[in-house]
Amino acid sequence: MKRPLVCSVRPLAVLWAASAVLLFGFAAAPTPTHAQPKTVSITLLSTTDLHGRIEPWDYFTNKPADLGLAKIATLVKRERVKTPDALLVDVGDMVQDPQSTLTNYFLAKHPKSLNPMIAVMNRMGYDAMAVGNHEFNFAPEPMWTLKGDSHFPWLGANVTQSYTQGAPYFKPYIIKTIKGVRVGIVAFVAPVVEPVAGYRLEPIVESAKQV
Tens-digit pLDDT profile for residues 59-82: 888 899 999 999 999 999 999 999
Tens of pLDDT along 113-151?
999 999 999 999 999 999 999 999 888 999 999 999 999
pLDDT exceeds 90 at position 3? no
Nearest to 147 by CA among 164, 161, 130: 130
Q: What is the DSSP letter of 134?
A: G
Residue 24: per-residue pLDDT? 52
Mean pLDDT of 154-174: 94
Contact 23, 186 (CB under 8 A): yes
Indicate the pairing of strand 87-90 with strand 128-130: parallel
Average pLDDT of 76-92? 95
Q: Is pLDDT of 14 > 50?
A: no
pLDDT interval class at 102 (50, 70, 90): confident
Q: Which residues lie across from 13 on neighbouring strands?
A: 47
Least confident of 174-183, 190-199, 202-211: 190-199
Residue 30: pLDDT band with limits 50, 70, 90: low
Q: How confident is the model at residue 181 (pLDDT cuts 50, 70, 90)?
A: confident
Is 50 exceeded by the pLDDT of residue 19? no
Per-residue pLDDT at 12: 54
Distance (Å, rounded) from C-alpha 166 to C-alpha 33?
42
In Å, how far are 62, 102, 128, 132, 177 from 136, measured between CA atoms?
Answer: 27, 19, 17, 7, 30
Q: How far apart are CA 124 and CA 45, in angstroms?
A: 12
Q: Which residues of 158-187 are buried (b: 16+ CB within 10 A; e: fewer)?
A: bbeeeeeeebbbbebbeeeebeebebebbb
For residue 7, is pLDDT > 60? Answer: no
Mean pLDDT score of the chain: 84
- pLDDT recorded at residue 6: 53
Question: Using 50, 70 and 90 to split pLDDT, how confident is the model at 50?
Answer: very high
pLDDT band at 40 (very low <50, low <70, confident <90, very high): confident
